[in-house]
Amino acid sequence: MKENKGLVFDIQSYSVHDGPGCRTLVFLSGCPLRCQWCANPEGWEYRRRPMLRMSKCVHLSQGCTRCLRACPFEAISRYSDGTGIMINWTICASCETMECTEACLHEALVVCGKWISESELMRILNRDRNFWGARGGVTFSGGEPFLQRDFILAVLKKCKEAYIHTAVETTAYTDRDFLLQAMKYIDFAFIDIKHMDPERHKEKTGVTNEIILANIVALVTSHWPGRLVIRMPVIEGFNDSEDNIIATADFMKKVGLKEINLLPFHRLGESKWRQLGMDYPYSEKEGIPEEVLGPLQDIFLERDILCYVGHDTPF
């Protein structure tokens, strides 16, 4: 039987903040959202793509031009002042062979994304399970892991057959029937609520929130037996207003949701935006100290909703 293959842009074998215990974290490529603060923009596209890490480029120090000569589309050129190389990312978007990355000997140009079969991924998980402990397992993230439907569903089924604890970090921006089908094989889930107002949500993520909120309600009312924790990346000036926090808490209370994790904004993904030739919209924003989220946390606690700030979580 022919196996499904999935496009994965990273696998981290020791994660302690993405579900119970120690876990293997699998990042799947492709996402329907375009969050302007995204820490993993390399996972947006459902394709392999090059990334340029100028700090490793030896063009200036050693005169290397291997990537320029290797590119069949002449998408790579030198700055006129000789200070480095630049890439025409529009041309790169249609390239599938990426000869430039093979020519680069210093890993300044690398390929992001690798096709992996179900059995290959299961071999990695079975290798790692010796280090998870009693509470650990695998967490599927992205991107949006539910975008690769056939692959994720097949792997989830194999995980359950192998008694592997499964978790997912999802936008819930997906087909409802598929979501409910996939969740039958998932023990623990994080779902983001980024903003309660649909137009404000679209302004910063590229999509409205109706599908997300409706899917959360559908999951809760389906009597899914797993544990659901809502996550909110707290972005100053976007979703940190008292009105939005109250609206989020009231929605959770009405639906019957019991837990939320507030994640303070950080700029850890900024370098990845540059490596992909993109401008980072939040380059001037400072990270939010966890202690300033206390008043927001109180709003949830007043409604008997457990609220964890940052990585101070019981999972």
CA distance 148 to 143: 10
Peptide bond preceding 6 in cis form (omega within 30 of 0) = no
Backbone angles phi, psi at 107, to 5 degrees: 60, 30
CA distance 232 to 264: 9
Nearest alpha-carbon partner for 237 in 280, 284, 294: 284
Tokens of 218: 């559908």
CA distance 228 to 241: 24
CA distance 35 to 269: 12
CA distance 202 to 209: 7
Beta strand residue intervals within the chain, DSSP E: 5-15, 23-28, 49-52, 76-78, 85-87, 109-112, 114-117, 137-142, 166-170, 188-192, 227-234, 259-264, 306-309
Which residue type is seen at 36?
Answer: Q
In 3-state terms, what secondary structure has residue 115? Answer: strand
Per-residue pLDDT tens listing for the chain (315 residues): 689 999 999 999 999 999 999 999 999 999 999 999 999 999 999 999 999 999 999 998 999 999 999 999 999 999 888 778 999 999 999 899 999 999 999 999 999 999 999 999 999 999 999 999 999 999 999 999 999 999 999 999 999 999 999 999 999 999 999 999 999 999 999 999 999 999 999 999 999 999 999 999 999 999 999 999 999 999 999 999 999 999 999 999 999 999 999 999 999 999 999 999 999 999 999 888 888 899 999 999 999 999 999 998 988
Q: Are 214 and 180 contacting, i.e. CB atoms less than 8 angstroms apart?
A: no
Domains defined for the chain, CATH in brackets: 5-46+114-309 (3.20.20.70), 52-112 (3.30.70.20)
pTM of the model: 0.95
C-alpha angle 156-161-162 in degrees, rounded to nearest 5 = 95
Nearest alpha-carbon partner for 233 in 250, 248, 255, 251: 248
CA distance 254 to 117: 41
Q: Are 4 and 118 contacting, i.e. CB atoms less than 8 angstroms apart?
A: yes
Q: Which residues contact 63 (CB under 8 A, 6 or more apart)?
A: none
